Copies of this chain bind each other. A is one copy, B any other.
Amino acid sequence: MAPKGKTSFTLKTPKGTKDWAGPDALLRDNIFSTITNVFKRHGGMALDTPVFELREILAGKYGEDSKLIYDLQDQGGEICSLRYDLTVPFARWLAMNTDIRNIKRYHLAKVYRRDQPAMTKGRMREFYQCDFDIAGAQFDPMVADSEVLKIATEVFDDLGWKGNYTIKINHRKILDGLFEVCGVPQDKIRTISSAVDKLDKLPWEDVRKEMVDEKGLDGAVADNIETYVVRKGGRDLLESLLADEKLTANASAKAGLDDMALLLGYLEDFGVLDKFSFDMSLARGLDYYTGVIYEVITEGSAPATATSAPEAQKLQRQAKKDKKVDADEDRSNDPSVGVGSVAAGGRYDDLVGMFSPKAQIPCVGISFGVDRIFSITKARMQRESKLRNSEVDVYVMAFGGKGFTGLLKERMQICKSLWEAGIKAEFLYKVKPKLPAQFKAAEANLVPFAVILGEDELAAGKVRVKEMGLPDGHPEKEGLLVDIASLTTEIKQRLEKKANESGVPADAPAGEQEDLAQKVKDLL
């Protein structure tokens, strides 16, 4: 680094953080809206908690990962830390509000982890989570769980990923049961479980090695485990497990399998069963899960994309560093793993009770990794369309010949009427703007319409409306004269037409409703 004078600063964001601006911020906001709309459709209540918590609230919740928690400096007063996820704050809120015995809550917010950043893989120190959780004391088994999973399918379908993702599901009680049945000693169950969780990144031989060489498991026990954890499927797998008398004799395994039978039925009722894979190798890292667990995976990785040459060089350097980090952590470079899971969650019935036994309340939830979803969506979009900084509808311009006054007052008033009609509009902050400068500004941000003011037209109560980007020879290439009195109506109609042309998704077609009616009838 260059030597610094008194007035010079290191102009950067802290390690593992970044600014979000322009098309990236806009795209991410659209992802947020899509997810929030799904959450609201299912009756979710918004909850917002402080970005930092008393340190003792977070203590003992994250096991080894606690070392990644950001602490605030002790400046006198309380000792606080930045939140590590949104689940523990939710549990703390439930424990504080014991009058609430059932609630669906959602929370979109940043969380903080002092992890080794790997920017090109989307691993950051500050990143967004979007959580939906259902807490309820007296619900029947697996009903809320199935709605959480239905929500997951709606989020990815609404994001346009239909047919392009799989939701792996498993059950902690099945896993715990099969480890017991296979002969894993009680005190090794959690550590063997986390070895199994690596099967999506490592071949069985490596995982076996970890179990036997590092964790001291009997080789024969490991081989027993293999016969189960390599299996995946749907109802077929469930039935073969239910037929396994050794397994069903174990109370934990039996309870888990009964839950799975209910769950698969409910997912079928919701019409989404084909999106799920019952995967015996899914174990999930966190300790607090007690029931069904799940992870959403998608095809393809999400390479970070440079928007400028210096950025490209920076990304190359970053990728090199990330590779080193991954080698250190002994991660596989299997490209099919891509950015890993894009959403994950499960049932956690005991977490709230950790704060206060009398506040105990069972919960089930899911967390969407928006930064990963963003990277993948962006990579897919960039092949298709150019991205915009903001979504302005209309650029209001003026032009004139000799003695041109600039028509600033008139541009302001036209903008005012557009704004009042809810139309997004802007104009150049110059008293006498040049026409090319105004067109350049409109084109740079892909503004779809120009409203052009000229003195003669204004005198006749008219302005010119021009659709931008029309090809030469198009009959409306030069725009059309429109009465000022009908300008906002005209613009609205054109914007609507344009939106329809670009194929905004319509509501569920009538045909689908009839199918449902038929189905409901058939059921009776």
Contact = CB atoms under 8 A, between A and B. Distances in A.
Interface in A444-475: 445, 455, 458-459, 461
A508 B420 contact: yes
Contact of A14 (B46, B78, B431, B459): B78
Contacts of A180: none
A230 interface: no
A57 B104 CA distance: 40
B507 A13 contact: no
Interface string A410-454: 101110110111111110011100000000000001000000000
Q: How many copies does the complex hold?
A: 2
Given A11-B96, A71-B73, A412-B269, A391 B40 contact: yes
A40 to B, nearest CB: 6
B13 A417 contact: no
A386 interface: no
A484 B514 CA distance: 8
Contact of A458 (B78, B96, B424, B524): B524
A51 B459 contact: no
Contact of A513 (B12, B43, B484, B517): B484
Contacts of A96: 11-12, 19
B416 A271 contact: yes
A355 B9 contact: yes
Nearest to A445: B43
Interface stretch (A139-147, A231-239, A294-302, A328-336): A139-147
Contacts of A485: 510, 513-514, 517
Interface stretch (A20-28, A214-222, A284-292, A494-502): A20-28
Interface string A26-47: 1011000000010011111111
A48 B70 contact: no
Given A45-B390, A52-B14, A520 B424 contact: no
A424 B26 CA distance: 25
B422 A50 contact: no
Interface centre among A92, A389, A429 (most CB of B within 10 A): A429
Contact of A21 (B26, B46, B139, B510): B46
A154 B422 CA distance: 11
Contacts of A488: 507-508, 513
Given A413-B520, A461-B517, A15 B77 contact: yes
Contacts of A40: 390-391, 424
A7 interface: yes
A183 to B, nearest CB: 33
A89 B255 CA distance: 53
Contacts of A15: 77-78
B519 A43 contact: no
Given A73-B72, A96-B12, A430-B139, A520 B25 contact: no
Contact of A516 (B356, B391, B416): B416
Contacts of A408: 143, 269
A21 B47 contact: yes
A348 to B, nearest CB: 17
A110 interface: yes
A10 B143 contact: no
A523 interface: yes
B507 A269 contact: no
A377 to B, nearest CB: 16
A150 interface: yes
A136 B429 CA distance: 9
Contact of A524 (B47, B430, B459, B486): B459
Given A14-B52, A51-B51, A488-B508, 5 more contacts: A15-B78, A17-B50, A18-B50, A41-B424, A484-B516
Q: Which 4 A-B pairs have the closest CB atoms?
A: A17-B50, A139-B429, A420-B508, A43-B426
